[in-house]
């Protein structure tokens, strides 16, 4: 994988490969310092860094495509309210199957492919995920997705999770965000599984904040994993 005089990087910074002797390679960092590193560990770290770059590029392209699609058709922006007991993990009806229930008749007519969602945990008063509706509504037994409602079937839409905090404690608290399009959101009672329309500006504000948290958590997890491996060298 590594070539003499090739430039690569690890969590300490960029480096140039000076020599490779079996499982060990000598490198020079950008600041002029030298080090002998295990090739196998540096391969994994470099692969992680390249993967991160590819994911970042894919997300960027995804956003550009969505903006282009938004110019062609009207995209709805909503806060999707769910019930998660305080202290629980992100496990609630529909989440693992990546579906949302669209039970209300008026909402069934509103929610459509391409609409964007910000997930909000009612009990914790926290925003924690960004999603896109990827399919038109279909009927299914709510119990299939662990919903408990008094109805033999309901309408559902498939979704794609664009960003998530992984845990509620890392989410964005409602009282830290000012929603101009629904300033009384905190005051008025809301029902779990409801959709609350918000403006595109409010959506982008929340989406940016949650995406930053999501990417930071992913990066920290990889850094911790790579650091542990480097400590073994």
Express each pLDDT in 37-70 by its tens digit: 999 989 988 988 888 888 877 776 766 665 555 4
Q: What is the pLDDT of residue 91?
A: 85
CATH 3.40.640.10 assigned to domain 74-218? The reply is: no
Backbone dihedral angles phi then psi of residue 58, each to the nearest 5 degrees: -65, -40
Q: What angle do CA 122, 126, 132 make, to 5 degrees?
A: 90
- Would you give the DSSP letter of residue 115? -
- pLDDT grade, residue 108 (50/70/90)? low
With contact defined as beta carbons under 8 Å apart, do 130 and 117 qualify?
yes
How many contiguous H segments (helices) and E segments (strands) does the chain have? 3, 12
103 vs 19: CA distance, rounded Å: 64
CB-CB contact of 120 with 126 (8 Å): yes
| Of the candidate ranges 102-111, 112-121, 148-157, the one whose mean pLDDT is the lowest | 102-111
pLDDT at 71 over 70: no
The model's pTM is 0.66
Show the CA angle centred on residue 214, arms to residues 211 and 220, nearest 5°: 135
The H or E element containing residue 44 is: helix 39-72
Residue 221 has pLDDT above 80, yes or no: no
Residues 6+ apart with CB under 8 A from 119: 79, 80, 82, 127, 128, 129, 130, 131, 164
Nearest in space to 230 (alpha carbons), one of 222, 4, 61:
222
Structural domain spans, the chain: 74-218
């Amino acid at each position: 994988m590594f070539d003499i005089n090739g430039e690569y990087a690890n969590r300490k910074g960029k480096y140039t490969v000076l020599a490779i002797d079996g499982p060990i390679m000598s490198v020079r960092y950008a600041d002029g310092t030298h080090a002998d590193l295990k090739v196998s560990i540096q391969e994994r770290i470099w692969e992680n860094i390249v993967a991160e770059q590819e994911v970042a590029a894919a997300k960027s392209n995804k956003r550009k495509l969505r903006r282009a699609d938004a110019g062609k058709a009207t995209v709805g922006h909503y806060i999707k309210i769910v019930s998660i007991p305080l202290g629980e993990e992100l496990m609630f009806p529909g989440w693992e199957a990546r579906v949302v229930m669209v039970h209300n008749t008026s909402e069934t007519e509103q929610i459509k492919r391409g609409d964007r969602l910000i997930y909000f945990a009612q009990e914790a008063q926290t925003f924690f995920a960004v999603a896109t509706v990827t399919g038109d509504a279909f009927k299914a037994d709510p119990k299939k997705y662990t919903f408990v409602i008094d109805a033999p079937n309901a309408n559902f839409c498939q979704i794609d999770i664009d960003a998530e905090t992984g845990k509620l404690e890392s989410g964005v608290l409602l009282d830290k965000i000012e929603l101009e399009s629904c300033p009384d959101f905190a005051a008025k009672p809301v029902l779990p599984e409801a959709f609350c329309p918000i403006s595109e500006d409010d959506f982008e504000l929340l989406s940016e904040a949650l995406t930053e948290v999501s990417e930071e958590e992913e990066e920290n997890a990889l850094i911790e994993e790579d650091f542990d491996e480097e400590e073994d060298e």
